[in-house]
Amino acid sequence: MKLCDQSVLVMGMGRSGVSAAKYALSQGAHVTVTDLRTDSPRIEGANHTYGEHNRSEFVEADLIIVSPGIPASAPDIVAAQQAGVRVISELAFAAEILQERQIPIIAVTGTNGKSSVTWFIGQLLNASGHSVFVGGNFGTALTDLVASGDRPDFAVVEVSSYQLELPGKLQPTAAAVLNLSPDHLGRHGTMETYANTKSDLFRNMCDSGYAALPQTDANNPGGLLHHGDTAAQPLWLDGNPGVSRNGMVATLSGTPDDGVLDMSTLNLLGQHNQDNAAAAALLCVCAGVARNQLDFSTLTALPHRLQPVHEANGVTWVNDSKATNVDAALVGISGIRRPMIVLLGGAGKPGADYSRLEGALLGTAKCVVCFGDSGADIAAAINIENMKQVPTLSDAVHTAAQIAEAPDVVLLSPACASFDEFNNFEERGHAFTSLAQEATQ
């Protein structure tokens, strides 16, 4: 990718935008950064347009790099595209450079589970002796890998639907869309548009690549997810060719190393983690790793995803802060087999149907504590006998501490975003952990 003496506009000065701007500058580009926030970070050597967007900067650029928080439908982006300007996401920008360096990319998206599967792939590859970068939509921005100059054996990348609105020349070696359920519809509008955006992960793949999807209606409602006209070899995450799981045995077919995988050494909560581990193994083998090199005993839970964080008086406190929608919370609640006090709440998402949680909660929940901006909406949607509503996460934790007794689990699986009280789900998860320790002293 030619950057020297190019006019590069970076739109959005979050973590990934800052990384992209700094790298473009290091390669001799003339960089302008723009953000509606007046307090956005200053980038030495760049021109800054903060508090507004200048249309002329968009239509006169050679390349525009867009941070994921900005929709591709933004008027300035549309105007730039109509003027013939190349517009790509930060992840696509970095991926193109990594592909030029011949670093294989394993890419994972889906409404739920994508962080866990990405995390598991990284662990499996590390344990099999490979050097690995893990990041993208979570953790480290992909452009940080580009800037470091490191050449890992694999780049394992979580990809969001926001990043796939402008996928550029992203061309994974192995890729999967894990599932689809209502989420981000405030941005994408319809489930069809959301599914098509997810499926664009496969758009540029070549015939040596592998593209995996679910078949079941539970994970692919109405068959909305599709392989499209990709040149990659189509696989299924729940069938043949692909991976099929029966208990702790997974069977691979249509891959470079077909056969049985013994998953009996996996030690993680929930059926969903067995599915996630099987999907991770499939992508590792499709990327060229031998089946007999995969060690499921090395897999640990992703931070903030069904992560036990505290134990006191026989009560286990589990941080599932990453469950930011109803489907993710259903997975978390279903993954616990002990009596529970469940904490639900935060900043709700448009169209969320909290009544869907009721069936799972009736099984094992001794009490549900609702909190945050959407606490009242959740309490109204769920018919549970022992229901409490409090203003904040702190109140919810202290309420749970008064109720819980051995062998209960206190589970934060909020079914909501965190932005009413916190900057992100990680901050909320850390707060939950600290509050649990404080409340049980």
Catalytic annotation, residues: 114, 137, 184
Question: 425-439 vs 393-403: helix axis angle to the nearest 10?
Answer: 40
Q: Which residues of 325-352 are buried (b: 16+ CB within 10 A; e: fewer)?
A: bbbbbbbbbbbbeeebbbbbbbbbbeeb
Per this entry, what is the length of the chain? 441
- In the numeric block, the tokens 């900067």 are attached to 57
Distance CA 121, CA 108 (A): 10
**Contact, 113 vs 330, CB < 8 A?**
no
Integer angstrom CA distances of residue 265 from 153, 261, 282, 284, 307: 26, 11, 17, 18, 18
Question: Phi and psi of 96, rounded to 5°?
Answer: -60, -40
Q: How far is Cα of residue 84 from the mean position of the Cα atoms in its chain?
A: 31
On the 0-12 / 13-18 / 19+ scale of CB atoms within 10 A, 294 is buried
